[in-house]
Amino acid sequence: MKSIGFLGLGIMGKAMAANLIKAGFDVTVWNRNAAKCAELVALGARQGATPKDVAAHCDITFAMVSDPEAALALCQGPDGVAAGIGTGRGYVDMSTVDDITSKTIAGLITQAGGRFLEAPVSGTKKPAEDGTLIILAAGDPSLYDDVKPAFEVMGKMSPYLGDVGQGANMKLVVNMMMGGMLSIFSEGLSLGQKAGLDGQQILDIVDAGAMSNPMFKGKGAMLLNENYTTSFPLKHMQKDMRLAVALGDQLDQPLPTAAIANEAFKQAIKAGFGEEDMAAVYKVIK
Ligand code: NAP
């Protein structure tokens, strides 16, 4: 892999691309709002003009954008990845999307002669900065082998999950569980404090028992301090809940808990908290 393209320099993409540059890869970046490229160019990246341009000049191009609409927009049209990719080059979409979107993108890329891998990630801003993401890969096995050195820079593990769609499905399972946990955690903390219990003591007691986990530890402190500094935008968590509930519909899998948690995230977006961290769901619950 001589050269790498990176499309999408939001919270996650910026940190992931920076790690690739620091590891010595030859990286070309592109972002819809071009101003976000400057920081990466200062680290040593080149700046591409369009997704097509990046895909045409790099051996393997990665993408990390917000949602299914954005992921499709990157690939389609005269300036899209599919128009530039050409035979044998690779495209790795790391955005969180649903399996149908991922399969559509795979079709666009492979029809243009390219190879496709989906690789959504588990882990938020800090793991992206630390290079400790969990990368959920599925699709072209030869491309998976070729991108391993880059995955090793961005993540701590990168299991191969099979055909395109299975990485997306795994990611939705993980985030659906996380959204459900955050929602019930917010309810517990709200209920306890209304009953007169001390918030910190609630957190300490939960943390000492079988429910202790890094998310409750990290988000618990944020809830008590009313600090909603964004690591994972709430609007993206609601997108993941929505996609997981839709997958449940497709597969006739009842998801009553996830469906109700999704409603709490929808309320939080309606209340204007979509750009804040997912922890801000607490504000509508309490
Ligand atoms: P973010 O900070 O909101 O960044 C979103 C990126 O998508 C920006 O580069 C944005 O470009 C781009 N974008 C949006 N619509 C676009 C369009 N129509 N065409 C081209 N580019 C478009 O999001 P993020 O937190 O980095 O998340 C990126 C993806 O990773 C999402 O799928 C999210 O669910 C997933 N994820 C996030 C986390 C997390 O903790 N943050 C963790 C795991 C997975 P502009 O700058 O021009 O707006």
Residue 125 Cβ contacting ligand 1 at under 6 Å: yes
Strand 46-47: give its sheet, edge to edge. 46-47, 26-30, 3-7, 60-63, 90-93, 115-118, 138-139
The protein residue with its alpha carbon nearest to ligand 1, atom 1, reads 10
- Mean pLDDT on 27-53: 98
- Mean pLDDT on 169-174: 98
| 169-200 per-residue burial string, b: 16 or more CB within 10 A, e: under 16 | bbbbebbbebbbbbbebbebbeebeeeeeeee
Taking the CA of residue 236 as reference, the ligand 1 atom at the shortest distance is: 34
271 secondary structure, DSSP code? T
pLDDT tens-digit map of 110-131: 999 999 999 999 999 999 999 9
HSE-CB for 79 with a 13 A CA cutoff: 10
Q: Which residue has the tokens 């219990």?
A: 197
160 secondary structure, DSSP code? B
233 secondary structure, DSSP code? B
Contact 19, 27 (CB under 8 A): no
Residue 236 Cβ contacting ligand 1 at under 6 Å: yes
Domain ranges (residues) in the chain: 3-164, 168-285
CA of 223 to the centre of ligand 1 (A): 24
Contact 259, 245 (CB under 8 A): yes
Residue 73 Cβ contacting ligand 1 at under 6 Å: yes
As beta bridge partners, residue 115 has: 90
As beta bridge partners, residue 122 has: 134
Please report, in angstroms and rounded to a whole number, the separation of the first and last CA atoms in the chain: 50
For residue 4, pLDDT over 90 is answered with yes
CA of 12 to the centre of ligand 1 (A): 7
Residues in CB range of 167: below 8 A, 6 or more apart: 102, 118, 119, 120, 136, 137, 138, 139, 161
- Mean pLDDT on 120-147: 97
* Residue to mutate, 33, 50, 66, ligand 1, most ligand atoms under 8 Å from C-beta: 66
Amino acid at 142: S
CA of 191 to the centre of ligand 1 (A): 34
CA of 125 to the centre of ligand 1 (A): 12
Amino acid at 220: G
- Encoding tokens for residue 82? 């599919």
The protein residue with its alpha carbon nearest to ligand 1, atom 18, reads 70
Architecture of the domain spanning 168-285: Orthogonal Bundle (1.10)
- Mean pLDDT on 183-208: 98
Confidence of residue 2 (pLDDT cuts 50, 70, 90): confident
Q: Which CATH superfamily is domain 3-164 in?
A: NAD(P)-binding Rossmann-like Domain (3.40.50.720)
CA of 210 to the centre of ligand 1 (A): 34
What DSSP letter does each residue of 104-156 carry, written as one string? HHHHHHHHTT-EEEE--EES-HHHHHHT-EEE-BEE-HHHHHHHHHHHHHHEE
Confidence of residue 56 (pLDDT cuts 50, 70, 90): very high
pLDDT tens-digit map of 200-253: 999 999 999 999 999 999 999 999 999 999 999 999 999 999 999 999 999 999
pLDDT tens-digit map of 60-114: 999 999 999 999 999 999 999 999 999 999 999 999 999 999 999 999 999 999 9
Rg (CA), the chain: 20
Beta-sheet strands, E only, within the chain: 3-7, 26-30, 46-47, 60-63, 90-93, 115-118, 121-122, 133-135, 138-139, 155-157
- Encoding tokens for residue 271? 């209340």
Residue 116 Cβ contacting ligand 1 at under 6 Å: no
Q: Which pLDDT value is given to residue 225? A: 95
Residue 264 Cβ contacting ligand 1 at under 6 Å: no
Residue 96 Cβ contacting ligand 1 at under 6 Å: yes
Confidence of residue 1 (pLDDT cuts 50, 70, 90): low
pLDDT tens-digit map of 25-36: 999 999 999 999
- Mean pLDDT on 132-150: 98
